[in-house]
Chains A and B, each alone.
Chain A
């Protein structure tokens, strides 16, 4: 059971601080890159012939930076705070943690440079070349080791559900990352032909479902009961949600390949269990929402709780969308279109990103022992991101439906470009909101951590 940790203690939380700053800083670059790429869809000659500003180089940079630069570090920051708290002990090694933060940032710098130069393995979410892959796997292994040793030294006998998710998320991601990046093939990081597609989408799916989802769930399980000042609704649902997620999420990656010549039985498995994803999703959401029942007033007063709770609503939307998209009849329209981009944004920014930021704002006062530098800026960021991500979802869903239905109806891709032009403009404008949110968030987090004028409570 999460305790009520308003008192600062002797812990330094250096690792959590490091990951907070890492996330806040890279979120600015990640969103700036996404914003620039969105403008290029409207004005393709804007950056002329500058190779490293090419849309096709910015796009993988944006995706990888959002995933590994913004979302994951923020989620890790919360994990490095909450795991020791939940186990009533200190982190096994802050020093090792800080080394991990440094290693992580080196990997991110290398990621940006290589992708800008076009040094890529060309597989979605697995673009990074081998040395960076190794760096990331080592980082995950160090994190897992640090957590496991903390678990070993724990003073609290019972492991709370957040700890399950953090442990499983860390070790499973280390495994699927190595597997998906074909780490035993340093030159290419790929298999050949159709097996490569199957492996790639197994990974491309699980890098979200075994990294962002478990960590986000862990944070929601940790924060919502505290903000609501009430115990978690159900232990049984926690168990069901946890195991069902790992069993079901892991083998539905082939729903990305329903229209590709891969074995039919594999598609059937992917479709059926994409629908079965409703089980872990609703087990988690019912648990959280029932915990929060009647307590929305408390949630709206806590900026961390507000972000996290909104994130759970986004999780509902993205999951229902995800299950729907796995239906072959739906996918006939949605596949290859902006609909999928909308899905990605509501998932990574709306769900994982909102919960990650909520986690950061929740732990910042508890790490520093001082109030947040600015409640206003945090609220500003909340609304900018909420408007941005809801806008993305609407705009990209509409333009995805326009594309998909036009193609299905026999129009060529070229003919549909003018029809989605206006939506691309709105999309880019919304990107500006997200970028501004990232900048204000960085300033707020930086000031909260580094030069916080607030009184120590």
Chain B
């Protein structure tokens, strides 16, 4: 083959043109006709402004918005569909998960949690390696939170309604006083859970494991001594629960377990069922009960069948 300048330039351009026809124009012809998915809605002006901040601060380099069939974590209940992205301009799928996927972040936490988190991510998530975004100033932080709370669109709206409803209830309970607040928290735990003590003994090893979990997950809000005065506290309302006042107020291992597992929607207390397996929740519950509440029911009756590993 004779490689003349014309053959090289025209040949490679012709190849490029035909490739573009096949891999860009042809898919465009059908993907541009995608119909809206079940959760699709347009974003409000404020949400679009927040999205612009998301773009300009490079959030897309660490957070994907692309749920795959193999995913487990946040948002895994809803596989991404082409119809979710109809107004994404540009699309922000992301290519790295240095932080969690945010496709369904909207309504996962109340606004005040995000306020603390953006101010310094380690306030709410002690192990986070996300940069602090306090420099954005309040007006921009509000926009960014607005956008964050819209992620998941219609699904996010449903979750936000739930957050608003329970925010009101939790604030009412908090403002009614300590006794009422604790009673309200306990009342929202199903009876079966309230009745069971921690089924495992509070061994030295178990408490050490619980301490590690506490420092990795709970420390930011509930503080080093469990009095609810962690670094996130000034941003949160109702404020994080002070464990040290719970003694003699009908606490049980089951209540602690249930609240850690399920969270308290409307407050900054997230659910940890995705992040912590059963034993880890019991261990951290024992740790809190032993050192902060000073009232522990580990390994008490009713126990059921004796666990085989017990010494």
Contact = CB atoms under 8 A, between A and B. Distances in A.
Contact of A148 (B5, B86, B130): B5
Given A164-B8, A410-B72, A413-B100, A122 B55 contact: yes
A227 interface: no
Contacts of A159: 3-5, 8
Interface in A20-77: 40-42, 44-45, 47-51, 54-57, 59-60
9 contacts: A41-B98, A45-B120, A51-B135, A171-B13, A179-B24, A193-B89, A195-B27, A261-B82, A412-B100
B308 interface: no
Nearest to B14: A246
A422 interface: no
A196 B55 CA distance: 15
B80 interface: yes
Contact of B16 (A161, A176, A254): A176
Contacts of A413: 73, 97-101
Contacts of B91: 190, 192-194, 196-197, 200
Interface string B271-290: 00011000000000000000
Contacts of B95: 124, 256, 336, 340
Interface stretch (B29-37, B184-192, B194-202): B29-37
B82 A59 contact: no
A247 interface: yes
Interface stretch (A262-270, A345-353, A360-368, A438-446): A262-270
Q: Identify the 3 closest CB pairs spanning chains A and B, nearest first.
A: A56-B58, A190-B90, A122-B55
A54 B57 contact: yes
Interface in B245-287: 274-275
Nearest to B136: A51
B60 interface: yes
Given A148-B5, A198-B23, A260-B80, 20 more contacts: A50-B135, A56-B58, A123-B90, A168-B8, A171-B12, A190-B89, A190-B90, A193-B31, A193-B34, A193-B86, A193-B91, A239-B1, A243-B11, A243-B15, A250-B19, A336-B94, A336-B97, A407-B71, A407-B97, A414-B127
Contacts of B12: 168, 171-172, 246
B57 A151 contact: no
Contact of A196 (B8, B89, B101): B89
B8 A41 contact: no
Contact of A262 (B13, B31, B134, B274): B31
Nearest to B120: A45
A175 interface: yes
A412 B71 CA distance: 9
B118 to A, nearest CB: 11
Main SS of the interface on chain B? Answer: loop
A141 interface: no
Nearest to A151: B5
B13 A175 contact: yes
A113 interface: no
Interface of B: 1, 3-5, 8-9, 11-13, 15-16, 19-20, 22-24, 27-28, 30-32, 34, 55-62, 64, 66, 68-74, 80-82, 85-101, 120-122, 125, 127-135, 216, 274-275
Contacts of A12: none
A297 interface: no
A199 interface: yes
Interface residues of A, number: 86
A417 B61 contact: no
B23 A202 contact: yes
Nearest to A203: B24
Interface of A: 40-42, 44-45, 47-51, 54-57, 59-60, 118-124, 148, 151-152, 159, 161, 163-164, 167-168, 171-172, 175-176, 179, 188-200, 202, 239, 243, 246-247, 250-251, 253-254, 256-257, 259-263, 266, 269, 332, 335-337, 340-341, 403, 407-408, 410-415, 417-418, 424
Contacts of B127: 414, 417-418
A171 B9 CA distance: 7
B87 A192 contact: yes
Contacts of A54: 57-58, 131
A340 B96 contact: yes
Contact of B58 (A57, A179, A332): A57
A159 B127 CA distance: 58
B27 A168 contact: no
Contact of A417 (B23, B69, B73, B129): B129
Main SS of the interface on chain A? Answer: helix
Contacts of A257: 93
Nearest to A166: B8
A329 to B, nearest CB: 11
A413 B80 CA distance: 18
Contacts of A176: 16
Contacts of A41: 98, 129
A320 B73 CA distance: 31
Of B58, B132, B216, the most chain A CB neighbours within 10 A belong to: B58
Contacts of B15: 243, 246-247, 250
A118 B136 CA distance: 12
A49 B141 CA distance: 14
B82 A193 contact: yes
Contacts of A198: 23-24, 27-28, 31
Contact of A251 (B19, B30, B90, B99): B19
Contact of B23 (A120, A247, A251): A251
Contact of A168 (B9, B28, B93, B97): B9
A421 to B, nearest CB: 8
Nearest to B81: A261
Contacts of B100: 412-414
A337 B97 CA distance: 6
Contacts of B128: 44, 414, 417
A96 to B, nearest CB: 18
B130 A44 contact: yes
A193 B96 contact: no
